[in-house]
Structure 1
Amino acid sequence: MFNNILFVCVGNICRSPSAEVMLRRAVEGKGVHVSSAGLGALVGHHIDATAQQLLVERGLDGSAHRGRQISDSILSEADLVLTMERKHVHRIIEIAPQASGKTFLLGKWQSDREIPDPYRQARPAFEHVYGLMDEGVRSWVRYL
């Protein structure tokens, strides 16, 4: 059973907090804790405005989010770590080798699909990424 799920990207202001909010809604009432962190986090920053706008348009809200830096202790607390890109998996294993067996791509069930970073791009890039994350989140829910 996965009781503590962690999403990881780089800045922790676009992809991982959006996926966090999406999964939190999907597992509401199941006693699952969902959080996010970044490998090079913009610590204390709000979720990106475009990412937040897309969430709000779908009845979700990431406005309470503040970016935080990943750490060995955050990784140790997680039962499942979901990343956006393969290089994130490799970096996590460098930081915390013991996390290797619980770290996967969010797009694992879509042929290990990576989810590109939309940071500082136009809204269509965010919309594309949101769709990929939505598919990934929905595919993981059946295992939770």
Structure 2
Amino acid sequence: MFKSILFVCIGNICRSPSAEVMMRDAVEGRGIQVASAGLGALVDHGIDATAQELLLERGLSGEGHRARQVNSSILSAADLVLTMELKHVRRIAEIAPHVSGKTFLLGKWQQEREIPDPYRQQRPAFEHVYKLMAEGIESWSRHL
């Protein structure tokens, strides 16, 4: 049983905090803790404005989020680590080889689909990424 889920991307201001908020909503009342961190985090930055807009439009919010840098102890504390791209899985294996067996793509159930980074792109890129993350969250939430 997974009691803690960690989402990881690069900056921890677009994809991983959005996925964190979405998953927290999906597993509400199930006793599962959800968090996020970045491999190259923009430490202490809030969620990207466009990512926040998309969450708000769906009745969710990333307000209060502060980006944090991933490290071995954060990775070790999670029961499940979900990433956006295969290069994230590989980087996590370098940082903390012992968590490799619990690190997967968010898009695992969509034929190992990667979720591109929308940072510094226009709203349509964020909308596309949000849709991909929503599909991954839906699939994973059925397996938790």
Match in the other structure for 1:50: 50
How far has the Cα of 1:100 moved from its partner? Answer: 0.4
Aligned residue type for 1:94: E
Say which SS state the counterpart of residue 82 (structure 2) adopts: strand
Give the whole-Å Cα distance in 2 for the aligned partners of 1:26 and 1:44.
26
How far has the Cα of 1:92 moved from its partner? Answer: 0.1
Give the whole-Å Cα distance in 2 for the aligned partners of 1:64 and 1:19.
15
Match in the other structure for 1:110: 110
Give the whole-Å Cα distance in 2 for the aligned partners of 1:124 and 1:91.
28
Aligned residue type for 2:74: I
Give the whole-Å Cα distance in 1 for the aligned partners of 2:82 and 2:131.
16
Give the whole-Å Cα distance in 1 for the aligned partners of 2:143 and 2:135.
14
1:119 aligns with 2:119: yes
How far has the Cα of 1:64 moved from its partner? Answer: 1.2
Q: After the TM superposition, which segments of 4 or more aligned residues of structure 1 sit over 2 Å from their partners?
A: none
Gaps of 5+ in 1: none
How far has the Cα of 1:7 moved from its partner? Answer: 0.1
Match in the other structure for 2:137: 137
TM-score by length of 1: 1.00
TM-score by length of 2: 1.00
Give the whole-Å Cα distance in 2 for the aligned partners of 1:107 and 1:75.
19
- Alignment: residue pair count: 144
Give deviations 1:37-90, integer Å, cap 9, x for gaps: 000000000000000000000000001110000000000100000000000000
Say which SS state the counterpart of residue 143 (structure 2) adopts: coil
Alignment of 1:28-43 (within 5 A): 28-43=28-43
Gaps of 5+ in 2: none
Give the whole-Å Cα distance in 2 for the aligned partners of 1:142 and 1:85.
21
Say which SS state the counterpart of residue 61 (structure 2) adopts: coil
Aligned residues: CA RMSD = 0.3
Say which SS state the counterpart of residue 70 (structure 2) adopts: coil
